[in-house]
Amino acid sequence: MSMNLEREKAVHPHSQLTTTKNSNVSKILFGATVISMLVALFFIFIFSAEEATMGAAQKIFYFHVSSAWLAFMAFFVTFVFSILFLVKRKRIFDTYAYISAEIGVVFTVIVLTTGPIWAKSSWNTWWVWEPRLITTLILFFIYIAYIMIRQMDGAWDKKARLASVFGIIGFADVPIVFFAIRWWQTKFHPIVFGEGASQSGGGIESSMLAALLITITAFTILYSYLLHTGVSFENMKIKVERFKEKLREDMEK
């Protein structure tokens, strides 16, 4: 009994230091998120020029594109940490992959929501079965399946291995989504950036470009905050589960 108490006392200071550090990082990221979002809103609604054809409805473009960027980045992080988990077998890598996938799914939903709203004002239709929309929808279902695997019953390591393979294979759809409008040219999704015969972009006005880059930066900071907070909560959940398991074993002795 006394040995257990001494062990708890020895571990406690380090645990307290880690908690304090995580709390400080979380506060910094939260503050940076709030400030960057306010700056982005200023650039979107006040600084940037209004599009001549669509008018104010075009403003949703900044949220739509930034959400797509964040979803792609989140799935890339899942891809990287899934590989690291399969190589190193460390649970922290699996945690980062899982939380990032959850964030990616949320922002893919935002993409699939803001897209039809924007489409209604520009195309006069909510949905068109064209390459980019179809591949984005497929991407959404791939990572929904990834999360469902993580929610299955069974040992965490087996679920993590299966999910990691799924996360790695699923990422193959991300470049397909991005290049869809270049590979299969359609009249609905215009190419804004790029040069050359197959990547001829229409360009973007300088104030709009500034607003877009600042909004993407703000969303990236938001992602960092959500990832850090999500991993912290998941680690606490893992610690509680381990404590419950240990308590159950002690009661059975």
The total number of residues shown for the chain amounts to 253
Burial class (CB in 10 A: 0-12, 13-18, 19+), 2: exposed
pLDDT 10s digits, 217-228: 999 999 999 999
Question: DSSP string spanning 145-210?
Answer: HHHHHHTSSS-HHHHHHHHHHHHHHHTTHHHHHHHHHHHS--SSS---S--SSS-------HHHHH
Domain of 228, in residue numbers? 2-252
Helix, strand, or coil here: 55? Answer: strand
pLDDT 10s digits, 14-43: 555 566 777 788 899 999 999 999 999 999
Total domain count, the chain: 1
pTM comes to 0.83
* Phi then psi dihedrals of residue 172, to 5 deg: -60, -25
Give the pLDDT mean for 41-59: 82
Q: Which of 72-81, 107-116, 126-135, 165-174 has the lowest mean pLDDT?
A: 126-135
